[in-house]
Every structure is written in structure tokens, then in C-alpha cells.
Structure 1
Amino acid sequence: MTDTSVDEMSFETAMAELEKVLGQLERGDVALEESIALYERGAALKKRCETKLKEAEEKVAAITLDGDGNPVGLKPVEDT
């Protein structure tokens, strides 16, 4: 587990750490308190990955096409 803030991680970094966390939890070779901390970290990492995927999906959906189907630009994405 790294000390990097989950909110600052790229999708790839968060996914790699999530895989490590899951591996540790699946092996079951950590103490109960550490398991709880790992579970909480994993939940935060999962949320980060979902957020980054949603952002990417919104960017892809915002690509506009011309009459021939070629991408010509992006529509502005509304902030939520």
C-alpha cells in the first residue's frame, strides 16, 4: 500500500494498487486490522477507477462527427 492520495492517482496507478490490495485480501495473510485498512483503501481505489472511467466515457461520447463520420471536435462537457 502506498501513501499516495487516491484522489491524485491516474487510472492505471489506482488499478495496479487495487490489484495488489485484492491479492493481499484474497491470500488472507494479514491481520484483521490491516485487512480492514486494506478493504477501505480498496474501496477508495475502486471509486477512483470508476470516476476516471466515467470521465473517459464522457469525453469519448462528446466527440462530434462530420457528415462523413470523421471526428471534428469536442462538445463541451458540462460540469456536475
Structure 2
Amino acid sequence: MSNDTPDIASMTFEDALKALEDIVRKLEGGEAALDESIALYERGERLRQHCQARLDAAQARIEKIVQGADGEVRGTAPFDAAN
């Protein structure tokens, strides 16, 4: 892998997903030597974990929508990942 590869933590969900798709395409196409394939697989797993964490955070934010006693949506509350 090259040094100009973006840091996964700073990637948007969409960028990480595209990078993961590119890795899958390379691995399925057999374009890489064994050592490169292993490095690609490891990066792919980190990208998958990053995407899953972003999806989990988005789901938690959606679930945090505040409802009134009558069940009507009253607004949203900030999501606090610590809780």
C-alpha cells in the first residue's frame, strides 16, 4: 500500500465504501500478489469496520428522535456516544 492512502478515520462513509469496493474488485480480479492481497484484505477489514461504525452512529441518531406523550415527533435530541 502506498503512503498517499487516506487515513480511514478521516474518510466519509461514502469514500470508505468506495475504497472498500475498489479493494474487493482488486481481490476478486486476482490483480495483486500474495503480500499485497493480504495488505488489501487487512485494509478492507478496517474500512468495513469504519463503515459499520458510521452506520451504527447514524442509526443511534435516528433512534434519538424525541417523541411526545402522544407519540408525535417533537424534535431531536443530540446523540451522546458516551451513553
**Identity over the aligned pairs, expressed in percent?**
35
Counterpart of 1:47? 49
Q: In structure 2, what residue type is equivalent to 1:58?
A: A
Q: Which amino acid letter does the alignment assign opposite residue 27 of structure 2?
A: L
Query: In structure 2, how many angstroms separate the alpha carbons of the residues matched to 1:16 and 1:76?
Result: 29
Task: Specify the alignment match of 1:74 in structure 2.
Answer: 76
RMSD between superposed Cα atoms in Å? 1.7
Partner of 1:6: 8
Instruction: Output the CA distance in 2 between the equivalents of 1:79 and 1:65.
Output: 20
TM, length-normalised to structure 1: 0.86
Amino acid paired to 1:38: L
Q: Distance in 2 between matches of 1:18 and 1:52?
A: 14
- Displacement of 1:29 in angstroms is 1.8
Aligned partner of 1:56 among 52, 55, 58: 58
Number of residue pairs the alignment of both structures matches: 79
User: Unaligned 5+ residue runs, structure 1?
Assistant: none
Deviation at 1:72, TM superposition (A): 2.2
Amino acid at match of 2:34: L
TM-score relative to the length of structure 2? 0.83
SS of the aligned residue for 1:77 comes to coil
Separation in 2 of the partners of 1:68 and 1:33? Answer: 55
Task: Tell me the distance in 2 between the aligned counterparts of 1:51 and 1:79.
Answer: 11
